[in-house]
């Protein structure tokens, strides 16, 4: 957020995955049935990496610094859903999302932020890509095999 209380239209998407390409999915509390990877808006003064580390901690309880966090240097721009635009300053209609990957050793238990997510699950990457509601999230998950060195 910025000093005016509005969200900054810059966010991170973090695909949390295992070496076997199992992907962590979170079900949104405000939209049951909508599954996603870790995501969240940048706070004023944060680097993108700091945003990713904070969002991972807030949404899963995991400390990303203990694992391999990689900036994929991939950006997506998309139109903000009408139902969520009130969170942004008047006139803001688009968000720029920066994609990261977080490699963890295996499917870990996570601690959900219950105000944000109802459930979590680990799914094989193809099934995970089919389950998420966001096109950019699905695209990032489908890129996972090419993004992970030596893993198939």
Structure tokens at 47: 């680097």
Give 126-151 pLDDT, tens digit per residue: 999 999 999 999 999 999 999 986 44
The domain limits of the chain are 10-146
pLDDT at position 43 over 80: yes
* CATH superfamily for domain 10-146: Nucleoside Triphosphate Pyrophosphohydrolase (3.90.79.10)
Find where tokens 């990877």 sit.
37
| Residue 23: strand pairing partners | 17, 123
Give 20-32 pLDDT, tens digit per residue: 999 999 999 999 9
The reply to whether the predicted model has a pTM over 0.85 is: yes
How far is it, in rounded angstroms, from Cα 91 to Cα 104?
39
Neighbours of 25 (CB within 10 A): 23
How far is it, in rounded angstroms, from Cα 31 to Cα 21?
26
Write the DSSP symbol of residue 29.
Answer: S
How far is it, in rounded angstroms, from Cα 30 to Cα 67?
29
Among residues 108, 105, 76, the alpha carbon closest in space to that of 11 is found at 76
With contact defined as beta carbons under 8 Å apart, do 93 and 80 qualify?
yes
Element (H, E) at 53: helix 48-60
Query: What does R_g of the chain's alpha carbons equal in angstroms?
Result: 15
Structure confidence at residue 60 as a pLDDT band (50, 70, 90):
very high
Give 97-128 pLDDT, tens digit per residue: 999 999 999 999 999 998 999 999 999 999 99
pLDDT average, residue stretch 40-68: 97
Contacting residues for 45 by C-beta, under 8 A, at least 6 apart: none
With contact defined as beta carbons under 8 Å apart, do 27 and 117 qualify?
yes
């Amino acid at each position: 957020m910025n000093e005016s209380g509005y969200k900054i239209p810059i966010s991170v998407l973090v695909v949390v995955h295992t070496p076997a390409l199992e992907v962590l999915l979170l079900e949104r509390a405000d939209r049951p049935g909508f599954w996603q990877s870790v995501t969240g808006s940048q706070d004023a003064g944060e680097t993108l990496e700091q945003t990713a580390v904070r969002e991972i901690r807030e949404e899963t309880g995991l400390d990303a610094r203990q694992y391999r966090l990689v900036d994929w240097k991939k950006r997506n721009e998309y139109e903000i859903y009408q139902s969520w635009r009130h969170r942004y300053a008047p006139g803001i209609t688009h968000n720029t999302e920066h994609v990261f990957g977080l490699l963890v050793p295996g499917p870990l238990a996570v601690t959900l932020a219950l105000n944000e997510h109802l459930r979590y699950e680990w799914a094989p990457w193809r099934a995970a890509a089919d389950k998420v509601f966001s096109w950019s999230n699905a695209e990032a998950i489908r890129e996972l095999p090419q993004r992970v060195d030596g893993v198939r």
